[in-house]
Structure 1
Amino acid sequence: MAAAPASALQRFMTVARPYWVGDRRGWAWCFLAGLIVLMLADTQLAVLLNNQTGELTSALAARDAPRFWSAVRAMLWVLAFAVPVFATYYYARDAYANDWRRWLTQRFLDGYLRERRYFHIAAEEIDNPDQRIADDVNTFTGRSLHFLLILLGSLMQLVAFSAVLWSLSHLLVGFLVAYALTGTVLSLGLFGRPLIRLNHWQLKREADLRFRLMRVRENAESIAFYGGEQQERHQLQQRLRAALLNTRKLIRAQFALNLFQRGFSQLSLLVPAVVLSADVLGGRLEVGQAVQAAGAFAAVLGAVSLIIDNFESLSRFVAGIDRLHVMAEALQAAPPEAGIARAQGRELDIKDLTVQAPGSDRVLVEKLSLRVPEGGSLLITGASGCGKSSLLRAIAGLWTQGSGQVSHPPREDVFFLPQRPYLQTGTLRSQLIYPSTQPALDDEALLKILDEVQLRHLAEGEGGLDRTQDWEKLLSGGEQQRLAFARLLVHAPRLAILDEATSALDDANQKRLYERLRQRGTTLISIAHRAAVAGFHRRVLKLKGGGRWTLVRTPRQDTEKTGD
């Protein structure tokens, strides 16, 4: 039986609770207590200002000069405290929200990067995780604190001003309660679910458009070579159209909400005057007391009309909670059960390995057994789509669906080179030592490695190894692959996995780099289509599709094993 969907409060607590019970709980609760103290002081000062406003008005109506100037002095004293308290409260609130955002973003990043969740999460249909971490977390912490504090402030305001209002008019209090309850019920019934749904889709549509624009920027050169501007424009236009269509629906819903909110708030200005008119006109109530009652009425109505006044922001907030809740659950979920067993050893040893495509029963490799001794080499070949890269993913632990066992050296002794290297915008040094953050070699050793891959010129001129560039745009495909080889030489792993890592290199460079790895005694696993690569490997694994395979020694040797 499927579990019932979580309520909005449960989804909120899933995301928010760790901050209040985790390692920052002491600081979080103490700072919140300080904010509440500031809010209490601000509320009490607001009551005093409202009282003095009434006193000031009554003194003017009575033409009593001493009483008027006494009220002015009292109001100035109140303002002297109210202004710094107000400013300090909002400064502290924003600082608190910023700390919460820092903590919660780090928590999401930890989960996102843990156990390669960033790789697997795409298959779970969670769109735009980057936007959820960068934008939705920021909105969540800021809005959560905002709504929590205005809720507490409204309760304080309700208690403080209700006493004032009750002392002036019981009838006004009764009318206020009925008016506020009617408005709240109507706003929830008419605008609640549609606005939340529309805001949820607006967040998704805007993120899709931004992601597509980012893809154009990242692949500008390829698009320019293809002349693909028309296709890209079409794709961008589709996403823009979807965002604008949803925005149009939001505008219509917001128009109806604005009509309701404006009518509700404007009528509230008339209500106190109508209810108290008989007492003022009959001389039973001073004009200043009527002004004081109107101020108290507005304050209490604002407190009990919290949902009505903030309905648009609340609907956007709830939509953002849904997106963060889905991602939080995905990051906290246990990783999928691995059908392929893994073990550590000194060499690559594969036993009865069957690899299946994720989410399907399609077999890519079936019952593969082989051992690559230390310093040995294996070339994987086959037609496009037969499962070569999938086999590498299974060896590296990225794909777990299937059966059998893979034993290989520890992860820090395994290095992977893809066909298109990943290059950051940063220093040349950071490219060489990636993924490490601190270099294990001195500058002289790094420069010597650049010599080996014929890229010494990159370190010449201003900056040297600390020269900063957008290397992906600056370097050609062959230079990028040679820089990736330089990384491999810097880390000196025991096992290197190369997926078409020399496809952009000329034969001379390819031969020199492979021979360099063989001299170091590095175990090599390669995927390649060029026939010349076979000469650098002792055995060749040919994948034939449908799970079938053949393992041979160098092309001039006889077949060792077959998986036909």
Structure 2
Amino acid sequence: MFYPNAENHPMGSSGFFIQFIRIAGPYWHSENKATIRKQTLALIALTIVQMFIAVIITEWSAALFDALEQRSMSGLFKQIGLLVLIFAASMTATAIHLTVKRRLQIGWRAWLTDHVTSRWMNKGRHYQVTHIQTAEHDNPDSRIAEDIRIATEDGIALFHSLFYSLLVLISFIEILWTLSGVVTLDLGFIEMPIYGHLVWVALIYAAGASALGWLIGQPLSKTTNIRQTVEANFRFGLVKARESSLAIALIQGEPHEKKHFQTLFQGIIDAYDRQTRAWAHILLFTSGYSVLSMAVPVLVSAPRYILGTITLGALMQSAQSFQHVASALSWPVDNMAIVAQWRASVERVLSLIQALDDLEDEIVRPDPHRIVLKKTDEPVLRFENLCISRLDGIVCASQINDEIRAGERVLIAGNAFTGSKLFKAIAGLWPWGEGRIELPDDDYIFFMPPRPYLPTGTLREAICYPSPSDDFSPAMIKDMLELVGLQELIEQLDQVDNWEKALPREQQQRLGVVRLLLQRPKWILSEMAFDSLDSEGEIAMMKLICQMLPEASMLTISNEPKAETFHQRRIVL
């Protein structure tokens, strides 16, 4: 498995890069590895070309200033001609480089997004992970949409800039060493020759500035992570309020929601202020550093030019080479803010992956306190010594030994919350407990929750979900809508809307029956599926199901007193 193991927690500094490589590495070994590797090699080659252009520009600059110093018109025109070639080469290399880099970025993001969402949206893991106390995994939507984008796009951008800086460092140190010549330091009692003095000045200057800048910028990583978390919490609060707008409006809960939003946004303000203070310290340092970087190389080389040891072109080439070396050595300082944001996003992605790993380990680990699901060839749903527990270990129901045969209708009575956990256990979403559940192997089990999921799109697609709408004829869908008393929705079948908001809950529950009648399953688990309907409406829906699907087995959780009429027996939890 390419994801990090439990022993390496993503929020710790040790093992961070190893965990990141475990995310990054498999992309270059995926099914499209040939194309991906070609793009990577092209990116590296174009980066080398960009470095060569930078070297050529410094040589061109030296030749230009020498021509100016010599007042040579022919030399000036020659440099103008070379500038046109350099200009064209630089534009071409930069444009191609940008295209290749962005393809690599979006490709990696798409691959990683697919892998994380495939693990998250698999066998109810998106639901189960919310119940475990493990690595931080709040707001998974933000981690997948935003943090993966930053982790991949900024990751490649940082790799490119670091690789470019290393190439520049190697190339321009050699140039700077050559231009430095030999400077004799007269100490009075001894004369000491210094070779490559500009290189040593650049190294000491950049190393000292980088070390100081890194120390100053340490708080930024922590504050960036905090801000991303509170921003995600604020977005989640807004989304939750939007999804529950009707309920909020009916009970006039707007003042409470406003206060809640203010509290969440105050967290953003506090995090923003802390990040601003951390960023201000970095900018205060980097702004002064950038000013010095322009002046230091000229001031260091100026005495040699004044004494006539070097030409004006050599002075300018030395200054530019010094700046390139200092800039390359200052990569940690220049990219500190980006690195902080990138690392915070990588850690958030790793935390989500860690939580999914922990959940997977918990489910597959042999444990007597886990419910075992087993497929059987018999058309039967069987409970053997089944015990259902809460997450804290408190038993909700114990010693359930029963079986439901094909075509049998059973009412689940007693505690409705325990009945809900029983349905989740049958679906494989609630493994906490003991005993065994045997499921009919080839028979589709249809779950009817209190509120059916209606994805945004056309009403036809929402009704047929999760099957394609083409699986059912228009006439069949219209007939089913008429049967459940929703003939007024026939004209809206091809209309696109957010149906969970556009339709009242009563109509949504009736659409759940339409979906059931279209799917025609052999096993039905109905959990308070008609609690928004009046007594007559709920009885009518149960009667319709019994008439249309007479051979289907059915387990029902309902508060309707007359529901027992449609069931042959009941199980009390």
Query: Normalised by the size of structure 1, how large is the TM-score?
Result: 0.91
Deviations 1:79-137 (A, max 9, x none): 12111111111122112101111111111111111222101111235100000100001
Deviates more, 1:63-72 or 1:502-511: 502-511
Q: Does 1:365 align with 2:397?
A: yes
- 1:522 Cα deviation from its structure 2 partner: 1.4
What are the within-5 Å matches in structure 2 for residues 391-402 of structure 1? 391-402=422-433
Contact 1:195–1:253 (Cα < 8 Å) also in 2: yes
1:108 to 96, 103, 116: 116
Contact 1:111–1:332 (Cα < 8 Å) also in 2: no
- 1:160 Cα deviation from its structure 2 partner: 2.2
Deviates more, 1:491-500 or 1:399-408: 399-408
Distance 1:244 1:483, change over 3 A: same
Match of 1:181 in 2: 207
- 1:60 Cα deviation from its structure 2 partner: 1.6
Specify every segment of 5 or more residues in structure 2 that has no aligned partner in the other structure, as ranges. Answer: 1-5, 181-195
Distance 1:34 1:296, change over 3 A: same
Contact 2:216–2:281 (Cα < 8 Å) also in 1: no
Aligned residue identity for 2:537: N
Seq. identity, % = 28
Match of 2:546 in 1: 518
Contact 2:151–2:343 (Cα < 8 Å) also in 1: no
Match of 2:572 in 1: 542
- 1:412 Cα deviation from its structure 2 partner: 6.0
Q: Does 1:476 align with 2:516?
A: no
For 1:79 and 1:286, how far apart are their aligned partners in 2? Answer: 25
Deviations 1:397-454 (A, max 9, x none): 2111111121223486101111122111111221221122354322222222122112
For 2:457 and 2:435, how far apart are their aligned partners in 1? Answer: 41
Match of 1:555 in 2: none
What are the within-5 Å matches in structure 2 for residues 27-46 of structure 1? 27-46=35-54
- Residue 362 of structure 2 aligns to a residue whose secondary structure is coil
Match of 2:381 in 1: 348
Aligned residue identity for 1:473: K
- Residue 114 of structure 1 aligns to a residue whose secondary structure is coil
For 1:388 and 1:3, how far apart are their aligned partners in 2? Answer: 37
For 1:232 and 1:510, how far apart are their aligned partners in 2? Answer: 34
Match of 2:337 in 1: 312
Deviations 1:226-249 (A, max 9, x none): 111111111111111111101101
Distance 1:412 1:34, change over 3 A: farther
Match of 1:561 in 2: none
For 1:456 and 1:51, how far apart are their aligned partners in 2? Answer: 80
For 2:442 and 2:120, how far apart are their aligned partners in 1? Answer: 19
What are the within-5 Å matches in structure 2 for residues 58-457 of structure 1? 58-124=66-132, 125-169=136-180, 170-192=196-218, 194-333=219-358, 334-337=360-363, 339-344=370-375, 345-358=378-391, 360-383=392-415, 385=417, 387-410=418-441, 413-437=444-468, 439-457=470-488
Contact 2:454–2:463 (Cα < 8 Å) also in 1: no
Deviates more, 1:204-213 or 1:19-28: 19-28
Contact 2:535–2:560 (Cα < 8 Å) also in 1: no
- Residue 471 of structure 2 aligns to a residue whose secondary structure is coil
Q: Does 1:532 align with 2:562?
A: yes
- 1:384 Cα deviation from its structure 2 partner: 5.9
- 1:279 Cα deviation from its structure 2 partner: 0.8
Aligned residue identity for 1:182: G
Deviates more, 1:143-152 or 1:115-124: 115-124
- 1:179 Cα deviation from its structure 2 partner: 1.1
For 1:159 and 1:496, how far apart are their aligned partners in 2? Answer: 70
Contact 1:365–1:391 (Cα < 8 Å) also in 2: no
- 1:266 Cα deviation from its structure 2 partner: 1.4
For 1:363 and 1:439, how far apart are their aligned partners in 2? Answer: 45
Distance 1:439 1:349, change over 3 A: farther
For 1:311 and 1:423, how far apart are their aligned partners in 2? Answer: 45
Cα RMSD, aligned residues only: 1.8
Deviations 1:329-354 (A, max 9, x none): 23345352372122224122112111
Contact 1:355–1:403 (Cα < 8 Å) also in 2: yes
Specify every segment of 5 or more residues in structure 1 that has no aligned partner in the other structure, as ranges. Answer: 544-564
- 1:465 Cα deviation from its structure 2 partner: 3.3
For 2:306 and 2:443, how far apart are their aligned partners in 1? Answer: 87
1:52 to 39, 53, 60: 60
- Residue 421 of structure 1 aligns to a residue whose secondary structure is coil
For 1:85 and 1:501, how far apart are their aligned partners in 2? Answer: 62
Distance 1:509 1:410, change over 3 A: farther
For 1:479 and 1:261, how far apart are their aligned partners in 2? Answer: 61
Deviates more, 1:335-344 or 1:298-307: 335-344
Contact 2:416–2:557 (Cα < 8 Å) also in 1: no
Contact 1:58–1:286 (Cα < 8 Å) also in 2: yes
For 1:335 and 1:424, how far apart are their aligned partners in 2? Answer: 31
Match of 2:494 in 1: 466
Aligned residue identity for 2:519: H
- Residue 267 of structure 2 aligns to a residue whose secondary structure is helix
For 2:409 and 2:535, how far apart are their aligned partners in 1? Answer: 19
Aligned residue identity for 1:244: I
- Residue 545 of structure 2 aligns to a residue whose secondary structure is helix
For 2:544 and 2:292, how far apart are their aligned partners in 1? Answer: 84
For 2:250 and 2:256, how far apart are their aligned partners in 1? Answer: 13
Aligned residue identity for 1:123: H
For 2:347 and 2:110, how far apart are their aligned partners in 1? Answer: 20
Aligned residue identity for 1:167: T
Contact 1:433–1:487 (Cα < 8 Å) also in 2: yes
Deviations 1:458-498 (A, max 9, x none): 122xxx63222221222222111000111111111111111
- Residue 115 of structure 1 aligns to a residue whose secondary structure is coil
Aligned residue identity for 2:560: R
Match of 1:546 in 2: none
Match of 2:183 in 1: none
